[in-house]
Amino acid sequence: MCGIAGIWRINPQEVDNAMIKKMTDSIAHRGPDAEGHWTNEKGIILGHRRLSILDLDSRSNQPFHYLGRYVITYNGEIYNYIELRKELKSKGYVFLTDSDTEVICAAFHQWGEKCLSYFDGMFAFALYDSETDLLFCARDRFGEKPFFYSNDERGLFFGSEMKSLWSANVKKKLRDKMIYYFLVHDLVEDVENPELTFYENIKKLKPSHYFIVKNGEEPVQKKYYNLSIESRFEGSFNEAVEHFYFLLKQSVQYRMRADVDLGSSLSGGMDSSSITAIMQQFKEGNSTFSARFNNFDKDESKFIDIVSNNYKTKQYNCFPNEDGFESDFNKLCYHQEEPFQSGSIYAQFQVYKLAKQQNTLVLLDGQGADELLGGYFNYLLPYYFELSSSKSKNEFIEIMKLNQNINLKPTLIEKFQFTNPQLINQFRRLKKIIPFEHSKGITNELKDAYKMNQPFKTFNDLKKSLAYSMNQQGLEKLLRFSDRNAMAHSIEVRLPFLSHHLVDFVFSLPSNYFFYAGWTKSILRNSVQNILPHEIVWRKDKVGFEAPQNQWLKSASLQDKLSTSHQNLINEKFITNDYPMGWKSLILNEFL
């Protein structure tokens, strides 16, 4: 896990080695163990900051050179690098290090851009080929690792974080459209144009995309991975559960490959608990790290203790509160770079800080399971309307109420929306109308320009809804929060539920397996019921990872900060006094 940066000047005579140093210095937190820079006569400069996780030998420092032809700056982990290296050795390749970095270079030499389909991992890299004078830039399938870039009259600038681009004098100007989306729709992404960021001059390489450029070219992103939602699995539910568990266990095992201490984040929910339990099968006595909240009804300490005590983990706890939030607020926003939606981001920030304090540099986490397996209750309606008969729909309502106390009663508006999703989506796209109450308190200047954009979509098909969360709206923002929080403390977070082998298998299953027998995430529940305590597997409530942010905001000092922030947004002509003063005002003001 590292930080990357690079420049390709249109005019090679303008190459500035001091600038690349500024770019890598700005992301030194991503890689405190080593730094490196490389340039050539054609105007390309690559920079790197290293966090040593695999193959700690200095020969694997970057930018890494291969065959006298390739130079790479790379952030991430290729978990199946051992298997790939073995395959490439059989084709005659010789390796001088034990790093996955060298495997990427050899794979590109062998397969070109098709090498991406061989990688099981999280990655963002830029690889320069001196023989063909091209730069190959790629990002992993689901967006675990970031890649930002800006193309202007000077050339191409890219890096792991936007602050590296700002260090290269890329202009920092907020995008009004994203401000509108955040204030009105509570969005931190542009789902119609996912390459856009909150800043006018900076784009992101989209998940599962790459581009190949030569000097002076505008990057054109190309997709290399598509998530198929076609039901192809013909086995029984129990067979699906068995194979799912095999793939999840393999994914955990691969993600435990490290030459440093590792542990897991433990929230008390089924996802993180499953990861913790499976890790114990490969290594006992792992460390677990948790956030707890005093006097908060959604504190999950009870469930954290059940899992930790059951597996006798080395349990470490932090207690995020309003004082810490206020003290760390500026630092948190600095590392996140773009607005975020809840105080849970700070709780996660503290958990990762705790891990670093215990010198645990790799954490496995359960992120992605809800989007993959239908863990949120908002996935129930798409499945309900996917059911063909009124009888099956009524049976689904009854069994969900019996098992999980969920009273699923669609309103007339919901019935119309979900039974006519194509019509609704087309109406939104063509008529460009949003409910008035959503834009209350938004100035006419902002409203008139951006009310034309309606970002949401409706689905009456469960797997289409899940795929939308995985690919466009939902998952990537969570991965952004996690990456910035972890790298702020120079640690690495790995996510077993995002193995593409596991994801592809889950999406091959018929829809009725997702809520089988009236339980959300029934595939996961049944796969871990023999290794996790009953209280964890068959919990009826869904808490998520929540923090008491509303309690925090009641403190006198944060109330003053809220008032100042709210007035600043009014002065900037984004909102009026009618806009409710709260979290969004506080957060957005920090990025003005």
pTM comes to: 0.94
Q: What is the DSSP letter of 68?
A: T
- Are 515 and 560 contained in the same domain? no
Last residue of a domain, one of 427, 446, 464: 464
- Are 396 and 250 contained in the same domain? no
Residue 475 lies in a domain: yes
In 3D space, the residue among 384, 383, 518 whose CA is nearest the CA of residue 464 turns out to be 383
- Are 308 and 199 contained in the same domain? no
Last residue of a domain, one of 440, 464, 488: 464
- Are 389 and 479 contained in the same domain? no
| Strongest mean pLDDT among 393-407, 536-550, 557-571 | 557-571
Query: Cis peptide before 410, with omega less than 30 degrees from 0?
Result: no
How many domains does the chain divide into? 4
- Are 515 and 572 contained in the same domain? no
Residue 351 lies in a domain: yes
**What whole-number distance in Å separates Cα of residue 470 and Cα of residue 467?**
5
- Are 294 and 393 contained in the same domain? no
Is residue 434 scored above 60 in pLDDT?
no
- Are 436 and 477 contained in the same domain? no
**Domain interval for residue 394:** 379-464
Residue 392 lies in a domain: yes
- Are 396 and 493 contained in the same domain? no
Alpha helices in 287-367 (DSSP H): 301-311, 322-336, 344-357
Sign, CA torsion 369/373/377/382: positive
Chain mean position to CA 556: 34
Altogether, the residues listed in the chain come to a count of 592
Q: Domain containing 76 — which CATH number?
A: 3.60.20.10
Quick one: CA torsion of 204, 210, 212, 216, rounded to 10 degrees?
-10
Task: Quickly count: other Cβ atoms within 10 Å of residue 226's Cβ.
Answer: 10
pLDDT grade, residue 451 (50/70/90)? low
If you average pLDDT over residues 249-272, what whole number do you get? 96
Q: Domain containing 256 — which CATH number?
A: 3.40.50.620
Query: pLDDT tens across 463-484, in order?
Result: 999 999 999 889 999 999 999 9
Compute the mean pLDDT over every residue in the chain, rounded to the nearest whole number.
92
Q: Which residues contact 269 (CB under 8 A, 6 or more apart)?
A: 300, 303, 366, 539, 543, 544, 545
User: How much of the chain exceeds pLDDT 70, in percent?
Assistant: 96
Q: What is the DSSP letter of 279?
A: H
Query: pLDDT tens across 246-259, in order?
Result: 999 999 999 999 99
pLDDT grade, residue 238 (50/70/90)? very high
- Are 416 and 322 contained in the same domain? no
- Are 147 and 218 contained in the same domain? yes
Last residue of a domain, one of 407, 442, 464: 464
Is residue 206 scored above 80 in pLDDT?
yes
| Strongest mean pLDDT among 95-104, 402-411, 440-449 | 95-104
- Are 459 and 496 contained in the same domain? no
- Are 131 and 201 contained in the same domain? yes
Is residue 436 scored above 50 in pLDDT?
no
If you average pLDDT over residues 28-34, what whole number do you get? 96
Residue 229 lies in a domain: no
pLDDT of amino acid 437: 47
Sign, CA torsion 43/49/52/54: negative
Query: pLDDT tens across 121-178, in order?
Result: 999 999 999 999 999 999 999 999 999 999 999 999 999 999 999 999 999 999 999 9
